[in-house]
Amino acid sequence: MRYLNLKDGQSVPLLGQGTWHMGERQDQRVREVTALREGLELGMSLIDTAEMYAEGGAERVVGEAIGGRREQVFLVSKAYPWHAGRDSLPKACEDSLRRLGTDYLDLYLLHWRGEYPLAETLEAFERLREQGKIRRWGVSNFDLDDLQELDAPDCAANQVLYNPEARGIEFDLLPWQRRQGLPLMAYCPVGQGSRLLEHPALLEVARRQDATPAQVALAWVLRGDGVIAIPKAVDPLHLKQNAAAADLRLSAEDMATLDQAFPAPTRKRPLAMI
Ligand SMILES: NC(=O)c1ccc[n+]([C@@H]2O[C@H](COP(=O)([O-])OP(=O)(O)OC[C@H]3O[C@@H](n4cnc5c(N)ncnc54)[C@H](OP(=O)(O)O)[C@@H]3O)[C@@H](O)[C@H]2O)c1
């Protein structure tokens, strides 16, 4: 596994585990818990979840998976924007902690920007940090103008959509975050496992590298500094492939193939979101 250091020096793996759609079906629970534990064994010790996923169901699955191994995990959860107020954020955090069976989060994110003034949300995050309920806080789905308005050196990460089909952030957001030393967490890094993985360019590079298209997508997302990818996988083979993608290095020829199929942005694009 490869790692990066957050601004406060905390080391985190470049590959973590997403949990969207976990906790939706009781008959999948054992598979999901087993997958998260397997992912931890493989070094993907950052787990990303949210109160939104299965309305708390994903956090319960994560809670079961990390039981007895909390200290091995860098645990990330997210609050709904309508829970980002001075009274609602502490309650949302308590509810997440209870479902996760822990007394602290390593990182607590605002899932996307809503109606609460940013200053109020920041104050609420800071209070949770002082109380030891969260170690650090960050944001998600923030574009450059949002981050500039936030103007908060203590923000630990911004989580946004990033994969070869969604490169808009390379125009301004990603370079700005790199200059600020603000890590970017890439969600949907394998395009939700759908048609991106059937694209001829990914298939061509995968053949050349003796890898899978998903591994190529992950290696591509992780090719520069300051980016963490959080693929979600329940299939044990997917988990193994994803963990191994940290060691895959794309060649100049691979990059040229992918650049031709998925051109880099030449102008500002609205932030892509799912
Ligand atoms: N902040 C936000 O607004 C936001 C939005 C979306 C997502 N997220 C976070 O980011 C995480 C990742 O995004 P995502 O789950 O939407 O999409 P994703 O990770 O790009 O794709 C997940 C899908 O890809 C499949 N997959 C995983 N590894 C694979 C591999 N090696 N080969 C082939 N297929 C593979 C999975 O199948 P199996 O499960 O069957 O293995 C699953 O169906 C989420 O789970 C969530 O934690 C955050």
pLDDT of residue 45: 98
Condensed to tens digits (0 to 9), the pLDDT of residues 60-89 reads 999 999 999 999 999 999 999 999 999 999
pLDDT of residue 4: 98
103 lines ligand 1 (CB under 6 A): no
46 lines ligand 1 (CB under 6 A): no
Mutate to test the pocket of ligand 1, among 108, 142, 238 (most ligand atoms within 8 A of CB): 238
Average pLDDT for the chain? 98
Cα–ligand 1 centroid distance for 87 (angstroms): 32
Condensed to tens digits (0 to 9), the pLDDT of residues 105-155 reads 999 999 999 999 999 999 999 999 999 999 999 999 999 999 999 999 999
Condensed to tens digits (0 to 9), the pLDDT of residues 8-28 reads 999 999 999 999 999 999 999
177 lines ligand 1 (CB under 6 A): no
Cα–ligand 1 centroid distance for 17 (angstroms): 8
238 lines ligand 1 (CB under 6 A): yes
Question: Quick one: average pLDDT of 239-268?
Answer: 98
Mutate to test the pocket of ligand 1, among 110, 142, 190 (most ligand atoms within 8 A of CB): 190
Q: Which of 67, 257, 271 is nearest to 169 (CA)?
A: 271
pTM of the model: 0.98
Condensed to tens digits (0 to 9), the pLDDT of residues 185-217 reads 999 999 999 899 999 999 999 999 999 999 999
138 lines ligand 1 (CB under 6 A): no
Q: What residues act catalytically?
A: 53
